[in-house]
């Protein structure tokens, strides 16, 4: 009993006699608590003040034009104040030693002097993320701060080799060296394996953007406590170990944007803690295992732009925690096994696969949290489920490029206030049903291309926030509406619009892409087009009936990348102000009535890749480039069917670097919409319409002009050429053997010139050649018969009276007794060294016989002739 009383008395004493003890725990988490303030260590305060002085005297970086002044940089860091109360500083609640320094997102810049940190020996947490120290290497000698458990140097501009000392911080629980700047930091010495080998306490490792040397091996298996691993954008290659995905505590694994990295998914065990798995933009392949259903905590699965195939496993339907599912841009087959959607699913992205079947309606769609549905570019068919139009949280519905049919009633979505993206294009059997007084929520994107639309929907008048409008390839007639004003992208091509281009288009200051090609529009193109060029990137007016001169004035702010005016009735000269459009990649003015000389001044445009001026009234000689760097990226040039004169432009041919070496260019991207440029060229003997321009396509067409002189040898240096057309000119001389160096050539047309000599045997090396036309020249000799030449017909050689051999019926006279045509016509192979030896021997014997017979005829009565006769009789020749 006495013992019980003692215990009660002790408890009461602790509760009432020591009130400060009840708050001692909270003081650990507050740098401003009175106990913390009383224990600031002078040497550590001095070190922090020196750190601030170094940052103030450092040269500011251009990324932060407003470099912090002494008053704005860490204003609470004052000499007479306690460092434990300063911004970003936390101290131990008893000793007062600095344990945490968090200067993240403070817009610090310049050179970071890490020696100041060495005077903070009790530091446990260091966060310098989201600043800018571009001239600074990673902080060194950090291993002397041996108590560090949290180190974050991410996105602060530190560059160079990750220091070896970090590998000695064996107490580290979290390490973040991520960077937005690719290749600015690297792991070579130490490499990745050496860095992590002794960091057995790590729970979080973020190295995204660091250039990692070598492959990721099984060494990560030693990090048994690891819960988050981010190795995205690391240039990783080889095979990723499956075992790392099976670490018992792993919750987040991000390997995205390592294109060469390959691997397959393991068999996931029951009880896995994995919550986030991102493999997008890698080379992972194979099938998704059925055991993925064991990942009951999975929240995000991102496998887009990989090489996965097979069926989507039905076990995915059991992942009730899944919020974000992205399997787009793979090779999945079959149907979707989880409709109705999973209870927590918010994003369903399955675009660009090979999925098929009919989608069924599902009940209680209005309760689903689903906000993004993207099933585009698959093979789904049947009606679009009404359930999709009942999703009350829906923001994006993308069903374009499928085989959906029937009618979709837009009145069903009028209550979905959150809907912003509605994309139903390229479902040719689908019709859009709506009433004349329909009011839809404020959309940002509306794509109804190829949806059998016969008029512009009236509800668009109320869509003030519309950014993208696509109604191309429909059956819309009449004039262009004047009330469209706010869009960034307007695509009305391949309809039946008539009349003039409204002047109201001049008020579309935010317009970036304008495509009204393939209509019946007339009149002049408004001069205001030049005024809009600061926002416009694409203007496509091809295949209309626009007329008049091009009187636009493009300013230096011009942003055009594509200007396509093909097949109109435009006259006059090419506006010189186009020279201000330094971003221009594609210029197509073909098939008009332009009367001008060669626009040599376009050579200064650094990005011009495609120049099509065919079928106009251009004249004069091409001339010489202004500088050796003119047209640096040009890989398609079509000047055909004009009136150019003089020699072929040898000086230009010598500097067209993009016809000699491969460039890596991409399509213009805007708001989820890839705009592909279209053109018309002559390829393989035919005018080809609607060819979207790929950078691997390389064309030189100078046909149907008045060029003269010889074909320059240097044309063989354009090694990327796929189409070369010099036909219908006045070219003379022989066919240069250097053409055999054009290994990628698929079409070669030199017809209707005045070329002489024989067809070079070396041209049989062009193994990709499928169109070959030398007709109507003055060529002579045997036609080479080897490789692709076996496939060419009489049409390739007609009008050359001196040619003989296969495939012509005209045999070569000196080989009449050899119906096989020696090795060429019989075997289709080039002459071997042995065949040449026999030929030389034959010629030698023939020459000897000729000399002997000549002597016999001339000296028949002499003793010499008698001796020769006796010699021949003895040899019986």
User: Angle at CA 20, nearest 5°, toward 14 and 21?
Assistant: 55
- DSSP, residue by residue, 505-535: GGG-TT--EEE--SSEEEEEPPGGGGGGGGT
User: Taking the alpha carbons of 257, 260, 266, 269 in that order, is the dihedral positive or negative?
Assistant: negative
Q: How far apart are CA 296 and CA 321, in angstroms?
A: 7
Is the Cβ–Cβ distance between 198 and 222 less than 8 Å? no
Burial of residue 622, with CB atoms counted within 10 A of its CB: 0-12 exposed, 13-18 middle, 19 or more buried: buried
CA max distance for the chain = 163
Q: Which two tokens stand for residue 784?
A: 């080479």
Q: How far apart are CA 548 and CA 282, in angstroms?
A: 52
Is the Cβ–Cβ distance between 548 and 529 less than 8 Å? no
In this prediction, residue 180 has a pLDDT band, given cuts at 50, 70 and 90, of confident
Q: Which two tokens stand for residue 866?
A: 């008698």
690 or 386: which leads in pLDDT? 386
**Taking the CB of residue 330, how many other CB atoms lie within 10 A of it?**
25
- Write down the H helix ranges in 67-205: 192-196
In this prediction, residue 188 has a pLDDT band, given cuts at 50, 70 and 90, of confident
Q: How far apart are CA 596 and CA 552, in angstroms?
A: 16
Residue 618 has pLDDT above 70, yes or no: yes
Which region, left, alpha or beta, applies to residue 405 given φ > 0 means left and ψ of -120 to 50 means alpha? beta
C-alpha 146 chain-centroid distance: 45
663-684 per-position pLDDT tens digit: 655 444 333 344 455 556 555 5
The winner for highest mean pLDDT among 103-107, 212-216, 690-694, 695-699 is: 103-107
User: Taking the alpha carbons of 29, 32, 37, 41 in that order, is the dihedral positive or negative?
Assistant: positive
Q: How far apart are CA 116 and CA 50, in angstroms?
A: 7
Q: Can you give the residue ranges of every domain in the chain?
A: 508-835, 846-875
Please give the average per-residue pLDDT across 58-80, as a whole number: 64
Residue 856 has pLDDT above 70, yes or no: no
Q: Which two tokens stand for residue 135?
A: 């001239």
> Angle 863-875/833-858 helices, nearest 10 degrees?
140
- What was the pLDDT predicted at 190? 75
β-pair partners for 571: 549, 593
Give pairs for 764-768: CB < 8 Å, separation 24+: 764/788, 764/789, 764/830, 765/740, 766/739, 766/740, 766/742, 767/743, 768/743, 768/744
Closest CA to 634 of 655, 610, 618, 653: 610
Instruction: Compute the mean pLDDT over every residue in the chain, rounded to the nearest whole number.
Output: 85
Q: Minimum mean pLDDT among 31-35, 178-182, 283-287: which range?
A: 31-35
Instruction: Count CA atoms within 13 Å of residue 392 on its CB side.
Output: 5
Torsion angle in degrees (nearest 10) through CA of 301, 307, 312, 318: -20
Is the Cβ–Cβ distance between 385 and 405 less than 8 Å? no
Q: Please tell me the class of the 508-835 domain.
A: alpha beta
Torsion angle in degrees (nearest 10) through CA of 261, 267, 272, 274: 30
Q: Minimum mean pLDDT among 150-159, 369-378, 769-778, 809-818: which range?
A: 809-818
Question: Beta-strand (E) ranges in 131-217?
Answer: 150-152, 160-161, 174-176, 185-187, 204-206, 211-212
- What was the pLDDT predicted at 676? 55
40 or 122: which leads in pLDDT? 122
Strand order in the sheet with 258-263: 258-263, 282-286, 307-311, 331-334, 354-358, 379-382, 403-409, 429-433
The winner for highest mean pLDDT among 13-22, 134-143, 762-771, 868-877 is: 762-771
Residues 6+ apart with CB under 8 A from 552: 525, 527, 529, 530, 533, 575, 577
35 or 124: which leads in pLDDT? 124
C-alpha 292 chain-centroid distance: 31
- What was the pLDDT predicted at 396? 98
SS3 421: strand
β-pair partners for 783: none
- What was the pLDDT predicted at 770? 94
In this prediction, residue 213 has a pLDDT band, given cuts at 50, 70 and 90, of low
504-559 per-position pLDDT tens digit: 888 888 999 999 999 999 999 998 888 887 889 999 999 999 999 998 899 999 99
Burial of residue 52, with CB atoms counted within 10 A of its CB: 0-12 exposed, 13-18 middle, 19 or more buried: buried
Is the Cβ–Cβ distance between 152 and 178 less than 8 Å? no
Q: Minimum mean pLDDT among 1-5, 529-533, 638-642: which range?
A: 1-5
Q: How far apart are CA 538 and CA 489, in angstroms?
A: 9
In this prediction, residue 576 has a pLDDT band, given cuts at 50, 70 and 90, of very high
Please give the average per-residue pLDDT across 203-221, as a whole number: 84
Is the Cβ–Cβ distance between 323 and 345 less than 8 Å? yes
User: Taking the alpha carbons of 614, 620, 624, 626 in that order, is the dihedral positive or negative?
Assistant: negative
pLDDT > 70: percent of the chain: 82
Q: Residue 513 phi/psi, 5° resolution?
A: -125, 120
Q: Minimum mean pLDDT among 356-360, 380-384, 473-477, 861-865: which range?
A: 861-865
Residues 6+ apart with CB under 8 A from 407: 430, 431, 432, 433
Q: Minimum mean pLDDT among 24-28, 433-437, 702-706: which range?
A: 24-28
Residue 850 has pLDDT above 70, yes or no: no
SS3 140: coil
* Burial state string for 817-848 with b = 16 or more CB within 10 A and e = fewer than 16: eeeebbbbbeebebeeeeeeeeeeeeeeeeee
Q: Which two tokens stand for residue 78?
A: 């004052």
Q: How far apart are CA 830 and CA 655, in angstroms?
A: 34
Q: Which two tokens stand for residue 697?
A: 């396509």
Q: Minimum mean pLDDT among 196-200, 339-343, 826-830: which range?
A: 826-830
SS3 51: helix
Is the Cβ–Cβ distance between 263 and 245 less than 8 Å? no
- What was the pLDDT predicted at 505? 87
Closest CA to 728 of 748, 712, 701, 706: 706
Q: How far apart are CA 272 and CA 52, in angstroms?
A: 46
Q: How far apart are CA 250 and CA 267, in angstroms?
A: 15
- DSSP, residue by residue, 803-820: EESTTSS---GGGTT-TT
SS3 264: coil
Kindly state the DSSP code that residue 626 receives in the 8-state scheme: S
pTM flag (> 0.85): no
SS3 635: coil
SS3 444: coil
Residue 575 has pLDDT above 50, yes or no: yes
125 or 2: which leads in pLDDT? 125
């Amino acid at each position: 009993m006495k013992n019980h009383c003692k215990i009660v008395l002790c408890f009461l004493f602790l509760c009432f006699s020591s009130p400060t003890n009840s708050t001692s725990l909270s003081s650990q988490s507050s740098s401003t608590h009175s106990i913390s303030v009383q224990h600031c260590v002078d040497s550590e305060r001095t070190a922090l003040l020196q750190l601030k002085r170094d940052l103030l005297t450092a040269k500011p970086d251009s990324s932060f034009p407003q470099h912090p002044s002494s008053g704005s940089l860490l204003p609470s860091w004052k000499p007479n104040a306690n460092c434990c109360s300063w911004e970003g500083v936390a101290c131990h609640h008893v000793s007062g030693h600095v344990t945490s320094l968090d200067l993240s997102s403070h817009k610090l810049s310049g050179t970071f002097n890490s020696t100041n940190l060495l005077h903070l020996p009790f530091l446990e947490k260091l966060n310098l993320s989201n600043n800018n120290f571009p001239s600074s290497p990673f902080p060194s000698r950090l291993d002397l701060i041996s108590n560090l458990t949290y180190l974050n140097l991410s996105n602060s501009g530190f560059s160079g080799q990750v220091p070896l000392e970090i590998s000695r911080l064996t107490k580290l629980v979290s390490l973040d060296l991520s960077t937005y700047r690719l290749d600015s930091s690297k792991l070579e010495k130490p490499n990745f394996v050496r860095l992590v080998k002794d960091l057995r306490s790590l729970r979080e490792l973020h190295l995204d953007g660091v250039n990692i040397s070598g492959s990721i091996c099984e060494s990560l298996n030693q990090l048994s406590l690891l819960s988050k691993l981010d190795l995205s954008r690391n240039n990783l290659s080889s095979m990723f170990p499956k075992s790392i995905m099976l670490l018992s505590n792993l919750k987040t694994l991000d390997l995205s944007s390592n294109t060469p990295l390959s691997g397959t998914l393991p068999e996931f065990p029951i009880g896995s803690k994995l919550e986030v798995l991102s493999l997008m933009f890698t080379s992972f392949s194979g099938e998704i295992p059925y055991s993925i259903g064991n990942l009951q905590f999975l929240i995000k699965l991102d496998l887009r732009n990989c090489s996965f195939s097979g069926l989507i496993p039905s076990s995915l339907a059991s992942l009730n925690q899944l919020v974000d599912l992205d399997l787009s841009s793979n090779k999945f087959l079959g149907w979707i096994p989880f409709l109705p959607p999973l209870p927590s699913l918010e994003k369903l992205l399955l675009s660009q696969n090979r999925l098929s079947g009919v989608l069924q309606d599902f009940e209680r769609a209005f309760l689903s949290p689903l906000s993004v549905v993207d099933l585009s570019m698959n093979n789904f068919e049947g009606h679009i489920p009404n359930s999709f139009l009942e999703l009350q949280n829906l923001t994006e519905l993308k069903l374009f490029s499928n085989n959906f049919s029937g009618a979709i009633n837009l009145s069903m979505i009028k209550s979905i206030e959150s809907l912003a993206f509605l994309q139903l294009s390229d479902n040719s059997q689908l019709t859009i049903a709506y009433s004349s007084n329909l009011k839809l929520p404020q959309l940002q994107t509306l794509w109804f291309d190829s949806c059998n639309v016969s008029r512009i929907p009236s509800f668009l008048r109320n869509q003030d926030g519309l950014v993208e409008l696509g109604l191309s390839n429909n059956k819309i007639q009449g004039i262009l509406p004047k009330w469209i004003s706010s869009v960034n992208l307007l695509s009305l091509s391949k309809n039946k619009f008539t009349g003039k281009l409204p002047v109201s288009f001049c008020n579309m200051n935010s317009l970036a892409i304008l495509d009204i090609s393939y209509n019946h529009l007339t009149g002049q193109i408004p001069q205001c087009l030049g005024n809009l060029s600061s926002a416009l990137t694409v203007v496509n007016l091809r295949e209309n009936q626009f007329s008049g001169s091009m009187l636009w004035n493009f300013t230096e702010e011009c942003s055009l990348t594509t200007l396509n005016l093909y097949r109109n009735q435009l006259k006059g000269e090419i506006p010189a102000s186009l020279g201000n459009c330094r971003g221009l990649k594609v210029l197509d003015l073909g098939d008009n009535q332009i009367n001008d000389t060669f626009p040599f001044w376009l050579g200064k445009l650094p990005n011009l890749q495609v120049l099509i001026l065919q079928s106009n009234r251009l004249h004069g000689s091409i001339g010489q480039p202004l500088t050796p760097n003119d047209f640096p990226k040009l890989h398609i040039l079509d000047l055909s069917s004009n009136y150019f004169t003089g020699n072929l432009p040898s000086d230009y041919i010598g500097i067209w670097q993009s016809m000699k070496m491969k460039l890596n260019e991409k399509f213009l991207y805007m708001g989820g919409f890839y705009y592909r440029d279209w053109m018309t060229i002559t390829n393989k003997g035919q005018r080809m319409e609607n060819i979207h321009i790929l950078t691997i396509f390389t064309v030189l067409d100078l046909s149907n002009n008045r060029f003269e002189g010889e074909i320059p040898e240097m044309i063989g240096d354009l090694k990327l050429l796929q189409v070369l057309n010099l036909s219908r000119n006045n070219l003379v001389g022989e066919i240069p053997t250097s053409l055999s160096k054009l290994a990628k050539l698929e079409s070669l047309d030199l017809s209707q010139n005045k070329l002489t000599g024989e067809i070079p045997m070396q041209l049989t090396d062009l193994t990709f050649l499928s169109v070959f036309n030398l007709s109507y020249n003055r060529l002579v000799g045997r036609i080479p018969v080897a490789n692709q030449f076996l496939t060419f017909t009489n049409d390739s050689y007609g009008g050359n009276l001196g040619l003989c051999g296969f495939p012509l019926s005209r045999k070569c006279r000196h080989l009449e007794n050899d119906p096989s045509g020696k090795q060429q016509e019989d075997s289709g192979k080039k002459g071997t060294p042995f065949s040449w030896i026999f030929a030389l021997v034959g010629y030698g014997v023939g020459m000897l016989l000729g000399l002997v017979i000549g002597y016999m005829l001339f000296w028949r009565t002499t003793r010499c002739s008698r001796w020769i006769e006796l010699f021949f009789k003895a040899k019986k020749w």
